[in-house]
Homo-oligomer: A and B are copies of this chain.
Amino acid sequence: MRHKKGISDAVIERLPLYYRDLLLLRDAGIDIISSERLGERLGITPEQIRKDLTCFGAFGKKGVGYYVSELCQQIVEIIGLQQHWKIGIAGIGHLGWALANYKTFERLGFRTMGLFDVDHRIIGQNVGGITVTSSVDMGKIIREQQIQIGIITTPASVAQQVADDMVAAGIKGILTFAPLRLNVPNNIFVFREDLSIGLSRISYYLTNYSDKTDTF
Chain A residues packing against B (C-beta within 8 Å):
3, 5, 9, 12-13, 15-17, 19-20, 41-43, 78-81, 83, 85, 87, 93-95, 97-99, 101-102, 104-105, 108, 110, 148-149, 151, 172-175, 179, 181, 186-189, 191, 193-213, 215-216
Contact = CB atoms under 8 A, between A and B. Distances in A.
Copies in the complex: 2
Contacts of A101: 94
Contacts of A179: 20, 104
A207 B83 contact: yes
Contacts of A99: 195
Task: Give the secondary structure class of A's interface.
Answer: helix
Which of A17, A81, A174, A204 has the most CB atoms of chain B within a 10 A radius of its CB?
A204
A204 B202 CA distance: 29
A108 to B, nearest CB: 6
B181 A191 contact: no
Contacts of A211: 187
A208 B94 contact: no
